Structure 1
Amino acid sequence: MTLLRMIPNYILINGIVIAGTVFVIFLVYRRLSSSYQKRLTAYFLKAACVSLAISLAVLAVVLSMMQLLLHSGLWDYFHDLGYKYLIAAEYLPSVVAVALTVICFIVSFSVRINRRVRYVEYLSQEIQKIREEGFGRTMELRGDDEITRLCAVINEMSVQLREKEEREKRQQRSKDELITNVSHDLRSPLTSIIGYVELLKETGPEDRQRFAEYIEVVERRLTGLNGLINELFEYTKLNSADQLPDMEKRDVLELLRHILYEYKVLMEAEGLTLSWQLEAESHMAHINTRQMVRVFQNLLDNARRYAHRAAPVTVTAQDTGRLHICITNRVADPHGIEPDRIFERFYCGDRARSAPQSSGLGLAIVKRIVELHGGQVDASLQGQELSIHLFLK
């Protein structure tokens, strides 16, 4: 109590008022900041509260010093100078206090928010660079408020747009390659057909033997050409689809067994042996039955067409969380076979390129159908053993 009595009333009252104001501001900040967590509002609210607290502390010090000076005899000095100076002495503490408080608040608030202002300037510069240099550039994330989240969204958008641009470029290159390859593959049978038609015009129907030979060749070429056009149409349709229609839950291994029995007969008629070992009894999955049949047929046709007659074609299946089907056959000449490229459009070995029954699209169609089913297909070559690995969910 003795200590409190020694403190002048004006200092005690100023201190109590300012301390109470700071305490109220602190309570308001705590209340609002919990409602605006990770918000830019909370950041500016905190900066304002801290700046106001600093300003009030400065105000308390200034008022106390002014009051001490005035009550230490300075008041009598101004009284002796005259009435004008006495009026000035009365208003001087208020003017100085308000001016210093405002200045302190502005300086403190500016210093605290300057970091976010610099970050906004940094974002503006980076966005300008993205506009000039193109998408794919990302910006540094600082803090955890609306500006930072906006920056994260811009980063994601920039990366996605860059990927989209790259994908469109690849698609454009793919279209150019497709046109070139189609032109090449269509020109050969058409040239052959035109040549045999000219021969038919020259020989006429009188020479029945040659006429029949030419007609057979023309028919064979037209059949191959029709198959190429059909597969090209199917591949184009699959390549433009995001998902396959008519998906149903079916046993993939049961479907595979039916097709294996059919191809066993076909291969035996051509002097080949087909054997299989399916470790799992069943594997239920959502598939488009017609397209999955097409996958198995294309893979077995590829093995049947290029397999060495002295070695069997083997099919194995394992279920290790996802279904792994492996079709293996021995090739007569492994040179020139690139396992990483055999699923590309129109990629074939020399024999396949010259074979009229091969369009070069069979394995590309397989890959696209498997991708639309959420699966994966690849190939491996060990010595003369070529294996196609099919993975399905």
Structure 2
Amino acid sequence: MRKSGKIKRKDKSLKQFLNRRFILIILLLALSEGVISVLFSEFLYPFISKLLVFTDIKITNFSSGVLSNMTQVILVLIIICILSLLPSYLSEAMKVIFQRVSADVLQIRLDTKIPEQLGSPILVQLYYFGLLLLFLIILFVILLPYLVAALAFGRMVSKKVEGPIHRLTKGMEQVSEGKLDTRLTFETEHEFIQMRNTFNEMAEQMEQNAKDKIEIENRKNTLLSDIAHDLKTPITTISGYATALIDGLVKSPEKEVQYLEAIKAKSLRMDELIMLLFEYVKLDSVGFALSREKLDLAELLRENIALLYTDFETKKMEINMDIPTEAVNYEVDRIQFSRVIANLLNNAIRYNPEGSLVTIKLFVGDCIKIVIADNGAPIGEEIVGHIFEPFVTGDESRNTKSGSGLGLSIAKKVVIMHGGDLVLDHEINDEYTKAFVITLPI
């Protein structure tokens, strides 16, 4: 999977590129105008002046006018073409108006009597048509650099903009089709690199969300399967024992009591499992919030150890406490946080052999740490990475020691809701074979 990298300084800006190209085109336009002006003054103007003589149009003091030679000639051609299309009386009136209004400005004197040597009216019309065609050619030559510049600039913009946009559009189409592993790798200017990187980050996030969704669905299915498994076993036992008692298959009173005690134990086991499921679901339910208050964590630890002291003695376990005598105040939910500590202590009692050493530490530094460690049986490598997932236990725990696999999941959720974390340190050393470490920020 390719991750989008940060934008490097060498990436060019599209704005800078367009500015440079625009300045270059302006310079080329200025050069083109200069070349066209020289060609017009040296070659076209003498030829056009000869043509205009046929209509007795005199262009006087040409160089001193406010308009350029080229503009004056084009204006004259336009006037001639317009006058040629008008009736004679309107044409004469327009000539008078034009001479009065603009002769002094343009130094143009009009006398458009058609010379007799042109002959027939058809030749006169051809003459005017030629002037109109000449006007269009001159106009085209004048506009040609601008047309070329516009096309060139448009092509530059198209190449720099349409290419990345096309790739981005194609990438979005592929993502919309479900190809979430799509990544864009084109190189271009700064702005589109930002869009490319944003697209790649979006696609990567969508791909990860899809994987997470599949993972959540798989966990949900596994959770339901494990719930069914853990409920079916005691229900089967209860049903079998109850059927035996009802059918009168148990003759001995002692055996009958044994069956009834088994039914009671399995019922309590089911009740415990259902309560744990309730707690697990409740933590994720909408509206649930911790009831936090400032408590002395050191005293809370000692209280929970005292509640289980008899169980430690029964298994002949040694307790090594390293808890400060001074108060370590922190805002916690007393009930939920006590459940976390009790679960870790119960696991240490339940899943370790007799005579094991259990170490309980509390210390304050950059953060608050609570460590519950022991030198008993290590946790299997196959479940270390999944120990905090629901219903993850070793086979021995599930089959013989009634472990639900929900306690650690609930504990980790509670600690995370307090802003901290619960992790497993399974590196074996001289002090312990495993340790559960609660970290709380200060």
Q: TM-score range by the shorter chain?
A: 0.7 to 0.9
TM-score (norm 1): 0.75
Identity across matched positions, percent: 22
> What CA distance in whole angstroms lies between the structure 1 residues aligned with 2:165 and 2:295?
55
Which residue of the other structure, out of 21, 41, 53, is the alignment partner of 1:67? 41
Distance change in 2, residues 1:69/1:253 (3 Å): farther
- In the alignment, structure 2 segments of 5+ residues that lack a partner are 1-11, 57-126
Taking the aligned partners of 2:331 and 2:181, their CA distance within structure 1 comes to 36
Partner of 1:376: 422
Cα displacement string for residues 325-356 of structure 1 (whole angstroms, at most 9, x for unaligned residues)? 22112325767874334333323334322335
In 2, are the aligned partners of 1:54 and 1:105 still within 8 Å (CA)?
no
Residue of 386, 390, 393 corresponding to 2:438: 390
Q: Which moved more, 1:298-307 or 1:121-130?
A: 121-130
CA 1:159–1:268 in 2, change beyond 3 Å: closer, same or farther? same
Residues 193-241 of structure 1, C-alpha deviations (whole Å, 9 max, x = no match):
1121122224499964333322211111100111011112222333566
Of Structure 1 and Structure 2, which has the larger fraction of its residues in helix?
1
Match 2:144 to one of 92, 99, 108: 99
Structure 2: distance between partners of 1:280 and 1:39: 64
Q: Which moved more, 1:154-163 or 1:211-220?
A: 154-163
Aligned 1:105-120 pairs, distance under 5 A: 105-120=150-165
Alpha-carbon distance change, 100 to 366 in structure 1, aligned in 2, over 3 angstroms = same
**Within 5 A, what are the aligned runs for 1:20-31?**
none
The question of whether the paired residues in 1 share the 8 Å contact of 2:383 and 2:392 is answered with no
Shift of 1:170: 0.7
Whose radius of gyration is greater, 1 or 2? 2
User: Any idea what the Cα deviations from partners look like across 1:12-46, whole Å, max 9, x if unmatched?
Assistant: xxxxxxxxxxxxxxxxxxxxxxxxxx998898787
Q: Residues of 2 paired with 1:248 and 1:138: CA distance?
A: 49
Q: Deviations over 1:301-330 (max 9, x none)?
A: 000112232232111233342333221123
Task: Give 1:297 deviation, angstroms.
Answer: 0.7
Distance change in 2, residues 1:286/1:153 (3 Å):
farther
- TM-score, with length taken from structure 2: 0.67
Q: CA separation in 2, counterparts of 1:344 and 1:357? A: 17
Q: Say which SS state the counterpart of residue 355 (structure 2) adopts.
A: coil
Partner AA of 2:36 in structure 1: V
- What secondary structure is seen at the aligned counterpart in 1 of 2:231? helix
- CA RMSD, Structure 1 to Structure 2 (Å): 3.8
Report the more deviating stretch, 268-277 or 378-387. 378-387
Q: CA deviation at 1:156?
A: 3.4
Q: CA deviation at 1:250?
A: 4.5
Shift of 1:115: 0.9
Query: Equivalents in 1 of 2:328, 2:31: separation in Å?
Result: 75
2: CA distance between counterparts of 1:376 and 1:59?
Answer: 78
- The offset of 1:188, in angstroms, is 1.4
- Supply the distance in 2 between the matched residues of 1:43 and 1:154 (Cα, whole angstroms): 23
The answer to whether the 8 Å contact 2:379/2:426 transfers is no
What amino acid is aligned across from residue 200 of structure 1 in structure 2? Answer: L
Q: Distance in 2 between matches of 1:381 and 1:295?
A: 22
CA distance in 1, matches of 2:183, 2:325: 48
Comparing 103-112 and 326-335, the one that deviates more? 326-335
2:322 maps to which residue?
Answer: 277
Q: Look up the match of 1:325.
A: 370
Contact 1:48 1:109 in 2 (8 A): no
Letter in 2 for 1:376: L
Match of 1:58 among 1, 13, 32: 32
Residues 1:359 and 2:404 are matched in the alignment? yes
Distance apart, 1:280 and its partner CA: 9.3
Q: Contact between 1:272 and 1:310, CA under 8 Å: does it hold in 2?
A: yes
Residues 204 and 211 in structure 1, CA contact (< 8 A), matched pair in contact too? no
May I ask how many residue pairs the two structures share in their alignment? 354
Report the counterpart of residue 293 of structure 1 in structure 2: 338
User: Which runs of 5 or more structure 1 residues have no equivalent in the other structure?
Assistant: 1-37
Show the 5 A alignment for 1:1-393: 51-52=25-26, 54-70=28-44, 73-74=46-47, 84=127, 93-140=138-185, 142-145=188-191, 150-203=195-248, 208-239=253-284, 244-248=289-293, 250-278=295-323, 285-331=330-376, 338-355=383-400, 357-374=402-419, 375-382=421-428, 385-393=433-441
